[in-house]
Amino acid sequence: MSNTAKTIDMTTIVMGSARRKSVWRAAFRTPSGIASVVLMTVIVILAIMGLFGFTPHDPAQQTVSSALEGPGSTHWFGTDQFGRDVFARVASGLANSLRIAIVSVAAAALAGTTLGVLAGYYQGLIDRIVGVITNVLFAFPSLLLALALAATLQRSWETVALSIAIVYLPIFARVARGPVLTLRSADYVMASTAIGRSRLSTLFEHVIPNMRSILVVQITLSLSWAILTEASLSFLGFGTPPPAASLGGMVEDAQSLTSVAPWMLYFPGTAIVIAVIGLNLLGDSLRAALDPKTGSH
């Protein structure tokens, strides 16, 4: 490689790195970006506490003599009808919700994006097959489809994650297919093929890298939907099985005790709202920063 080519490559790398940094700075300088960081910091800290057992009490420990105690110095969020510490269960429930959301969205993003990219780039039979699959999955309401899958399979957190992944797979396929249809006819993509590079090499070097911003935003928003879907499944009795804590299950347990123990409903419900709002604000901030019409240059 000549010195000129090396200089051009190094300049491209530096400019790309600077652009990525400016995008992240732009995303987190807005009021919604700052709010998303604050909310997600709270959620992540609580989830880490629940995951590694840093809570003052065991979330599964039952102490009947302490049942339905209000929030105080001993039990920060009060206790439930079995004397279990609500703070510990909220932290553990957040850890379980984030684990399911991350696993399910990662699986849906990987499988759905792969199908969408192949369909948009190669078209023909592959495009028709992927189109049929996505249309069939889109024919069912997302929560109803997740509920049917979760009810059919053995109840476990893996089952919940798989059900949510299947529900969101066609979304990623559609999101990926659209940009690929545009990028495949771009001048630099056609030039790459013209100089002798294989279509697969062109796909990985020039098409997929230009979709990253779209996928990042979609993944962020899908995480919030996945948390809400998991909570809904647990509320209906098809989510994370007990004795593991689940925010949706805690809300369901609190229904009949709201008048005497409102904290049982307030704290897990607030945790769900904060997580969903935080991730949605993060997705909106990234979308605005990555939009060439409104983002930083």
What does the alpha-carbon distance between residue 73 and residue 78 come to, in Å, rounded to a whole number?
Answer: 9
**Residue 297 is assigned to a structural domain of this protein:** no
Give the pLDDT of residue 7. 42
Q: DSSP letter string over 2-59?
A: -HHHHHHHHHHHHHHHHHHHHHHHHHHHSHHHHHHHHHHHHHHHHHHHHHHT-SSS-T
Instruction: Return the axis-axis angle of helices 263-290 and 86-122, rounded to nearest 10°.
Output: 30
**Residue 11 is assigned to a structural domain of this protein:** yes
**Residue 249 is assigned to a structural domain of this protein:** yes
**Residue 255 is assigned to a structural domain of this protein:** yes
For each of the chain's 297 residues, which pLDDT tens digit applies? 444 434 434 443 333 444 555 655 666 677 888 898 899 999 999 999 999 989 999 999 999 888 999 999 999 999 999 999 999 999 999 999 999 999 999 999 999 999 999 998 888 898 999 999 999 998 888 888 898 888 888 888 999 999 999 999 999 999 998 888 887 777 777 777 677 676 677 777 777 777 878 888 899 999 999 999 999 999 998 988 888 899 999 999 999 898 999 999 999 999 999 999 999 998 888 877 766 554 444
What phi and psi, each to the nearest 5 degrees, are found at residue 140? -105, 140
* Tokens 């400016």, residue located: 22
**Residue 121 is assigned to a structural domain of this protein:** yes
Q: Please measure the distance between the N-terminal and C-terminal CA atoms of the chain and give it in whole angstroms.
A: 31
What is the domain-level CATH number for residue 9?
A: 1.10.3720.10
Range(s) of the domain holding residue 39: 3-290
The one-letter amino acid code at 92 reads S
What phi and psi, each to the nearest 5 degrees, are found at residue 2? -75, 165
C-alpha torsion sign, points 69, 74, 78, 84: negative
**Residue 94 is assigned to a structural domain of this protein:** yes
Give the pLDDT of residue 195. 76
DSSP, collapsed to helix, strand or coil, labels residue 79 as strand
Helices (H), the chain: 3-29, 31-52, 86-122, 124-138, 142-152, 157-183, 187-194, 199-202, 212-235, 247-254, 263-290
**Residue 295 is assigned to a structural domain of this protein:** no
Q: Report how far apart, in Å, the C-alpha atoms of 63 and of each of 59, 60, 79, 90 are.
A: 11, 10, 9, 17
What phi and psi, each to the nearest 5 degrees, are found at residue 79? -125, 165
- Look at phi and psi of residue 186 and say left if phi exceeds 0, alpha if psi is from -120 to 50, else beta: beta
* Sequence-ordered list of residues with C-beta below 8 angstroms from that of 128, at least 6 positions apart, any chain: none
* Tokens 């804590």, residue located: 245
Total domain count for the chain? 1
* Sequence-ordered list of residues with C-beta below 8 angstroms from that of 86, at least 6 positions apart, any chain: 75, 77, 78, 79, 80, 250, 263, 264, 267, 268
**Residue 88 is assigned to a structural domain of this protein:** yes
Give the pLDDT of residue 11. 40
